[in-house]
Amino acid sequence: MSWFAWGDPAKAATLDPGLRDLVSQVLRAPLEDLPPVPEERVELPPSLLGARLREALAGVVGDGHVRTDDAVRLRHSGGKSTPDLLSRRAGSADPAPDAVLYPADHDEVQRVLEVCSAERVAVVPFGGGTSVVGGVAPLRGGFRAVVALDLRRLDRLVSVDTTSMTAVLGAGVRTPHAEAMLAEHGCTLGHLPQSYEYASVGGYAATRSSGQASSGYGRFEDMVVSLRVATPRGTLETGGPPASAAGPDLGRLMLGSEGTLGVITEVGLRMRRRPERVLDEAWSFPDFATGVEALRSLAQSDVRPTMARVLDESETFVGAAMGGREATPGCQAVLGFEGTGTEVEARAASVREAMAAAGGAPLGPDPVAHWRSNRFSAPYLRDTLLSAGILAETLETAASWTDLLPLYTAVSDALTGALEDEEGGAVVMCHVSHTYPTGASLYFTVATAAGAAPLERWSRAKRAASDAIAAHHGTITHHHAVGTDHRPWMAAEIGPLGGEVLRAVKAALDPGGVLNPGKLIPEP
């Protein structure tokens, strides 16, 4: 993965002249040419890993698996948020880890944690490195050194059970690799977030990820049937049986713990059979509110699509303009159905009736096909826009159906209010991509001129949006997790006693506090 951008440099997006005109017109800002600094000009702080410590760690993972060279440290100096990329593009990779470790298996992870806890070295677990909330920022947190614990070598299919339809995967397995291994057994996880090509299954578990087809396959946390977790105090294993009433579900305490309570090394997952049939249908609605109501009726019925999203008017318009297509008025919904042949047909027929009754007009499969072909490419466009002096970033939340549209308005207004100024305008777009019987997610995309101080500009907008979320019954994050960026809002999210519970669990599992300092858990 590129050190200053998302993904594969060969797949970088281009800005065609039409899109350039559109962007500069809508944002009232001229496009610039702002390439990243060359890699050799990026400044990294020196590694603080002393020889004795290096030897102790090499004693666990092997000498070749302790890396302190700048190229490797740079590539573990943070995640893939717009602020992360802005900093690196400008030539700063501070903080950077003092070393990057590549353990081979659970036992090596376990021993690394024991060494680091004894030696007061901070440990930042690193899966795919795709965090957009500062989750893998190598913060030293007052310790002697900080190491990134890269889990890519934990890449095995540990076991598979096609009777119980479960598989145990190493935490470092990336999704395409997982899907390839499970496909040999006719199975799939069905988990496809936008970060799909790079994110790891351990990262999904640690952040309570949600994929684009969550309506049908569920959130990642709902697929997890067991976990193996290394902690400075030893190994914790959770789950196994399909359900239990034997006390609180301790697996759920590890899911979403973002490497602050332990390092997830193996993930037991529910699989599904690979779908025989995929059927797509797009719908048009007169406005976002009507489209949202249509999705609510689906989410609360017994017959649901596998994938359902509805774009607001702004995102519908921009999507059409970028695809060079005539924009339909109102807003667009894209639905996908996966399953066996007759079952998919029956489900789609039932949903078709519901969508028409809810005021929708059918658009056929083409808009969904267009969405599918671009579903993982938005981060590439974001990077190209950054090179043209345009900030493009996303943020997300979820709320009950009753709270959803007031929250949508409040966050949209907050973003627009924070960004409409003499440096240009802002485009705020939104879609609902994850629906539940009791509510749904909102996913905002914002584009605006980077201006003279882009980090401060985005930080102001993000703060305004987050305050609006907290004030309007939203969660501070539906699927991006907390990291550093959402941590200031965690006290409001879980209350003072919730914070104490997390700190108590951390003290029990990580008494030295070396695991991912500065993330997730609010200060007392």
Question: Could you confirm whether 443 is annotated as catalytic?
Answer: yes
Cα 278 to Cα 213, 336, 365, 376: the distances in Å are 12, 7, 11, 18
Site for a second copy in 417-456 (CB under 8 A): 434, 436-441
- Residue 438 Cβ vs a second copy, minimum distance, rounded to whole Å: 5
Stretch that binds a second copy, among 57-65, 112-120, 147-155, 497-505 (CB under 8 A): 497-505
- Residue 235 counted as an annotated binding residue: no
Catalytic residue, chosen from 204, 217, 380, 443, is 443
Residue given tokens 């890993």 in the structure block: 49
Site for a second copy in 467-486 (CB under 8 A): 473-482, 486
- Complex with a second copy: residue 43 or 237, whichever CB lies closer: 237
Q: How many angstroms separate the CA atoms of 252 and 227, rounded?
A: 10
Rg of the chain over all Cα atoms, to the nearest angstrom: 23
219 interacts with a second copy by CB under 8 A: yes
Q: If binding means CB under 8 A, how many residues of this protein chain bind a second copy?
A: 95
Angle between helices 401-419 and 454-471 (to 10 degrees): 150
> 57: number of CA atoms within 13 Å, CB side?
32
Site for a second copy in 316-375 (CB under 8 A): 339-340, 343, 346-347, 350
Within 10 A of 63 (CB to CB), how many other CB atoms are there? Answer: 10
- What are the backbone dihedrals phi and psi of residue 88, each rounded to the nearest 5 degrees, phi first? -65, -40
- Residue 128 Cβ vs a second copy, minimum distance, rounded to whole Å: 16
- Residue 130 counted as an annotated binding residue: yes
- Complex with a second copy: residue 51 or 497, whichever CB lies closer: 497
- What are the backbone dihedrals phi and psi of residue 428, each rounded to the nearest 5 degrees, phi first? -115, 120
- Complex with a second copy: residue 65 or 233, whichever CB lies closer: 233
505 interacts with a second copy by CB under 8 A: yes
- Residue 259 counted as an annotated binding residue: yes
- Strand arrangement of the beta sheet that strand 99-101 belongs to: 66-67, 99-101, 145-150, 121-126
Site for a second copy in 105-134 (CB under 8 A): none
Task: Report cis status (omega within 30 of 0) of the bond before 95.
Answer: yes
Within 10 A of 320 (CB to CB), how many other CB atoms are there? Answer: 17
Nearest in space to 371 (alpha carbons), one of 189, 180, 194, 210 = 194
- Complex with a second copy: residue 391 or 395, whichever CB lies closer: 395
Site for a second copy in 173-202 (CB under 8 A): none
Q: How many angstroms separate the CA atoms of 399 and 407, rounded?
A: 8
* Binding track, positions 374-403, relative to a second copy; x by CB under 8 A: -----------------------xxxxxxx
Reported residue count of the chain is: 524
Question: Is the backbone of residue 140 left (phi > 0), alpha (psi -120 to 50) or beta?
Answer: alpha
Out of 213, 264, 490, 514, the only residue in the binding site for a second copy (CB under 8 A) is: 490
- Residue 135 counted as an annotated binding residue: no
- Residue 353 Cβ vs a second copy, minimum distance, rounded to whole Å: 10
The neighbouring-strand residues paired with 200 are 174
Site for a second copy in 290-319 (CB under 8 A): 296, 300-303
- Residue 471 Cβ vs a second copy, minimum distance, rounded to whole Å: 13
166 interacts with a second copy by CB under 8 A: yes
The residues assigned a catalytic role are 443
Annotated binding-site residues read: 125-131, 207-210, 258-264, 382
